[in-house]
Each structure stands twice: as structure tokens, then as C-alpha cells.
Amino acid sequence: MTTPTLLVLAAGMGSRYGGLKQMDPVGPNGEAIIDYSVYDALRASFGKVVFVIRKAMEKPFRQFVAARFEGHIAVEYVFQELDDLPTDFVAPAGRIKPWGTTHATLMAARAIHEPFAVINADDFYGAEAYRVLARHLQSDSPDYAMAGFILRETLSSFGAVSRAVCRVSADGYLQSISEMKNVEPDGFHARNIDATGTITLLSGNELVSMNMWAFIPRVFEKLQEQFRRFLELGNSSLQSESYLPSAIDALVSCGEARVKVLRCGEAWFGVTYREDHPCVAQRISRLIQDGYYPKRLWS
């Protein structure tokens, strides 16, 4: 049985949060969300973690990781930098924003040769999500998979968020993804306001991708093609990003990928805004009190 790898996207700049979120403590002994992600991945039989980071954060991040995971799981690092582009492309002058999650995932192509899962470093997905993805990755299925979460349970009380809203077939496969950049609670429901001011009302029960995926290595070639197309269309912009859900949506729409949607009963939570931080710490505390995690993860 193949042992899957966990790819953690940790190179983000946290613009809405106002700083780096990847190492901020949320647990009783200074644990960050990454601690709980790796702990859950270990329990679900993942055998290696690959972190995507930026060179500028390498020293403190390596120290952070070494103090926690050494002796528990194999760790590798890859780097997402603005100038790491196909040879016929150049980053536009003045750009400082990373190229997005498709580009970040591609940085691991030389480090991963086995089935793997992708997560964001600053999102808490819950132990069940790692278990269902691990089972899929160990099934030898040629299909990709996605952990699906209920939209209502992924929103912030402190501002609008971006969400990838999914349309799923009756047999549980992804049909399409719509990237909505300004989604906010609307009572028990939700609403999206696009760039033109048009309001789309949402039930809140929609399944969304929170960037937790299960892939096999051949996905790298497909994502490279999608990233090249993104650069050809939007290379001059200083803010545009190639989002992984959009790249997968394009592959699904042209019949180059099948994605099984694995519904997760546990609630996702994360720190989009700095005001979200106390809420996340409280939820972690409750999970510890209820016995889902020990008071100290690593010894």
C-alpha cells in the first residue's frame, strides 16, 4: 500500500490578516494550525510532509518545523519565488504578490513522486478530512479527489471571503467550480457581491473547496499547462493569481480530470482576518477538552 505525502502551501503573505499566519499560535503550548494538520495527517498514515515556502521565511520556518516534527515525520522544503517561471516568461516589474496556489503546487513537482494531498497551511480541516483523503490516495484510483465543506460553516464574521463553490453530480463527482471573491453571511444563508455590484444569494448549503485535494503525480503536467495559459492571459497584472480550484475546474470542463468530492462532516475553520484568531483558539481548546487532541501534541 502506497504511503501518501502531504503538501502544505505555506508561502502566502496574509494580506487580509496583516502578517504571516503560518506560525501564529492557536494551541495551549504555542501550537499553530500546521501542528494540528501534521498531527492529523500522521494519524491518517501520511508518511512525509513537503512545505512550500518563500526563501525570505526559510530560517524561522525551518526552526519552527524542527522544534515540532523532527523524529515524527519526514520533512522536505520547496520554494515559491516570483521568478520561478517557464523560460519564456518574466515577472512584470513591481510585482511582489506570489503567483497563487497552482504555481505553489507546481513547485513540489521535483519532490513528490507518490500520491499526495494538498492543503493550505493556515486552514484547519479536521481529522476526518485527512482520513477520507488518505483512503482515496491508497485506493489506487486514477481519479483526483477533493474534500468538500459546507459553505455556511466556512464564512467569517469579520469580513467577506473568497470561496470556490462547487457543483457536484449525483454520483459525487465535481462538475464545475465558481470562484466567488466576496462571500459573506446573510442570516442563515450567504451572498456574493461581484465586481459590478451584482448580488448572488446562496443557500449556505453549497459545497465549497477549501483547497484540500488528493492528487497523483501526473497532475503536475496538467497544472503546468494551466499555469502557462494563465501567464499568457494575465502576465502583465501585478495582482492576478492562478488559483488551484480554477485550474482543476478547467481540467474537469475539458474532460482531462475526474474529481471525486468527499463530503466532510467536520467543520473547517481558519484565520482569514486577525479578528478570527481568538475564535480559532477557542475552537481548538474545545476540541482538546472533548478529547480529540492531547494538550501537548509533540514530545
Instruction: Tell me the one-letter amino acid at 166.
Output: C
- The set of cell numbers assigned to 237 is 497584472
Per the domain annotation, does 141 fall within a domain? yes
Kindly report which listed range (18-22, 55-59, 292-296) carries the lowest average pLDDT score: 18-22
Cα–Cα distance, 153 to 190 (Å, whole number): 10
Q: What are phi and psi of 51, to 5 degrees?
A: -100, 130
User: Is residue 246 within 8 Å of residue 179, measured between CB atoms?
Assistant: yes
Dihedral angle at the C-alpha atoms of 113, 116, 121, 126, nearest 10 degrees? Answer: -160
- What is the CA 127 to chain-centroid distance, rounded? 15
Using one digit for the tens of pLDDT, what is the confidence trace for 86-140?
988 988 888 888 899 999 999 999 999 999 999 999 999 999 999 999 999 999 9
Using one digit for the tens of pLDDT, what is the confidence trace for 40-97?
999 999 999 999 999 998 999 999 999 899 889 999 999 999 999 998 898 888 888 8
Tell me the mean pLDDT in the region 193-216.
Answer: 94
Question: Measuring CA to CA, which residue among 206, 263, 195, 252 is closest to residue 226?
Answer: 252
Q: Which CATH number goes with the domain that contains 114?
A: 3.90.550.10
Per the domain annotation, does 71 fall within a domain? yes
Number of domains in the chain: 1
Q: How many residues does this entry show for the chain? A: 299
* Full residue range of the structural domain in which residue 207 is found: 5-289
Residue 234 has a pLDDT of: 72
User: Is residue 144 within 8 Å of residue 259, measured between CB atoms?
Assistant: yes
Kindly report which listed range (85-94, 168-177, 278-287) carries the lowest average pLDDT score: 85-94
Q: How confident is the model at residue 297 (pLDDT cuts 50, 70, 90)?
A: very high
Per the domain annotation, does 297 fall within a domain? no
Residue 19 has a pLDDT of: 47
Per the domain annotation, does 294 fall within a domain? no
pLDDT higher at 144 or 20: 144
Cα–Cα distance, 49 to 193 (Å, whole number): 37
The sign of the dihedral angle between the CA atoms of 208, 211, 212, 213 is: positive
Residue 15 has pLDDT above 70, yes or no: no
Residue 271 has pLDDT above 80, yes or no: yes
Residue 16 has pLDDT above 70, yes or no: no
Cα–Cα distance, 168 to 170 (Å, whole number): 7
Residue 70 has a pLDDT of: 83
Tell me the mean pLDDT in the region 171-195.
Answer: 93
Per the domain annotation, does 83 fall within a domain? yes
What is the number of other CB atoms lying within 10 angstroms of the CB of residue 140? 10
Per the domain annotation, does 21 fall within a domain? yes
Tell me the mean pLDDT in the region 2-24.
Answer: 74
Q: β-strand 144-150 against 207-215: which pairing, if any?
A: antiparallel
Per the domain annotation, does 267 fall within a domain? yes
Per the domain annotation, does 43 fall within a domain? yes
Q: How confident is the model at residue 18 (pLDDT cuts 50, 70, 90)?
A: very low
Residue 245 has a pLDDT of: 95
